[in-house]
Chains A and B, each alone.
Chain A
Amino acid sequence: MENTLTIILKQVGQWFRCITAALLLSVVSACAATQAVGGDSQSIRIADNSSQVAVTKRHINWERADADRFHGKNTTVLPKPLGSASSMPSQDQGELGSALAVPLLLPSTTIQTNSPAAAELEFSEPVILLSANGYTAVLKNDSIDIVIDATDSMMVTADHREDDTPEDFDGEFQLIEGGGGGITIGRYGALYYIQLMCNHPSVETCVTETMVRDVIESLSIAELPADARQ
């Protein structure tokens, strides 16, 4: 009997602690909320657009990419990509793209730049990582790396118009956190984010817009070796 009473009292005590904690917390959070609303923080409210964002596939113009390759626009044959992609694209991609979701554009490993920051940049051979919707290519240099993220997919918002993203375009230059810069371009309908990443971030201007555009200028269609195109 005494034990049962003890258990009941303990239970009541625990619930009392819970309720007291809850009430205290409610008061504190309500006060904090009031304070935050009344504070002078600045923010611009946008709608929660998660329901309005959809992922779409871009139409890739393989005919034009194959034709450009056929007409010898600096086609190069590459070493086999690193590892294997988790899944390969299934759409009909023409001769060039039998293992690729998008045309494989790669820069020259020697970039002549018009930038006063660096007249000539030598890069390593590219490492290519294929994925189901594109690829990433990485070229290394002591001070700057090139990273290209290519895709046939993008998110679109409700207000996006098809005309806003033509097959070919060159986007605006933007700096990258910690040092670096990048530009998105469209080619053959695919999207390519060309990034130059500084390895020594204290040099805030290690990358200029001119350098990124010089890298873009050097892009050519590359071809995978036969054993990587299965």
Chain B
Amino acid sequence: MRWVLLTLTSLFVACSSSDNDDSSIFLPGDCSYFSSGNLIPGTGTGVNDATLWAENIASPFVRTRAIAKSQIYNPGGSGSANGDECAANNFNYPHRDTFCETRSANRDSYNCPKRTIHQGIDINAGTHETCLLLRNAKRAIGNGAAPEVANIIPIVATANGRISYIGSYTVDLKPDDPANSKFRYLHMNMRTLPIELGDFVKKGQLIGYYYDDFGGNNTTFHLHLELIAFINGRAQYVSPYASFIAAEQRTNHIPCLELG
């Protein structure tokens, strides 16, 4: 049965993308993902939570290749021997969960087995080439160019809602639907945000650009995405991974293969 499903899915992917327009950056058939909770071995204990804590959301990236990946344990991260955040492999499928990935600080969540954890997922967007463009733009900004030169990859609202907080490296989006958790976006280009505190936004509306802001410090270029929900009387950090994978497939019309 599994073979039949795999073959049918592959056939659909291989054939349905034949009339994609030329501007598509998605390669037919290459989208795949590891299951929720399947972290890089040795980087923590994940939780296999397939719950769509935020249903029917849009991907924060539209028509841009976006891969959930570990920001720490892949090239450019502090846990990797390879220091090049623009390494091509950082932009290749499969998606991999990082919710519950090990951190030193004592942070809680709804269902991670431990408390010293990563409270969201990290997403790399674009390609090796766009990463190099961003790196050059960052250098140019350091030399006095306007911060807008780094506005290469747009990030959009995942749902209709309201911008409820803008910090030094954080933007909160509170959805209209109380069943949807609050979204927290970290590390956008904070000096060029097209939104203000209190703005009402529509699902898919531009709210910022992919960057590496971290309150005056640097991190790697990535989007850190969180979901915070009131569950059983407490504000809890829940896994955005399954919701993100579903949104990626829905928003960008790319069926993805689950690898287990």
Q: A-side interface residues toward B, CB under 8 Å?
A: 14, 17-19, 21-23, 25-26, 29-30, 32-34, 36-37, 39-46, 48-50, 53, 55, 82-83, 86, 127, 129, 131-133, 136, 138, 145, 147, 149, 151, 153-157, 160, 164-165, 169, 171-172, 174-179, 182, 184, 186, 191, 193, 197-202, 204
Contact = CB atoms under 8 A, between A and B. Distances in A.
28 contacts: A25-B13, A29-B10, A32-B260, A36-B38, A41-B40, A43-B39, A45-B37, A55-B178, A83-B199, A129-B174, A129-B198, A138-B164, A138-B197, A153-B178, A154-B232, A160-B233, A164-B233, A175-B107, A177-B120, A178-B186, A178-B215, A179-B215, A191-B234, A191-B235, A199-B168, A200-B216, A200-B217, A202-B216
Contacts of B7: 22-23, 26
Contacts, number: 219
Nearest to A177: B119
A154 B230 contact: yes
A108 B242 CA distance: 40
Given A43-B45, A86-B200, A136-B165, 17 more contacts: A21-B14, A25-B6, A30-B6, A36-B34, A43-B36, A44-B48, A50-B50, A50-B51, A55-B179, A83-B199, A136-B174, A147-B172, A149-B164, A160-B233, A171-B233, A178-B170, A202-B216
Contacts of A45: 37, 48
A149 B235 contact: yes
A154 B233 CA distance: 7
Instruction: Give chain B's interface residue range (CB within 8 Å of chain A).
Output: 35 or more
Interface of B: 2-3, 6-7, 10-11, 13-15, 18, 28-29, 32, 34-41, 44-52, 55, 94, 105-108, 111, 113, 118-120, 162, 164-165, 167-170, 172, 174, 176, 178-179, 182, 186, 197-200, 214-217, 224, 226, 228-235, 257-260
Mostly, the A contact residues are: mixed
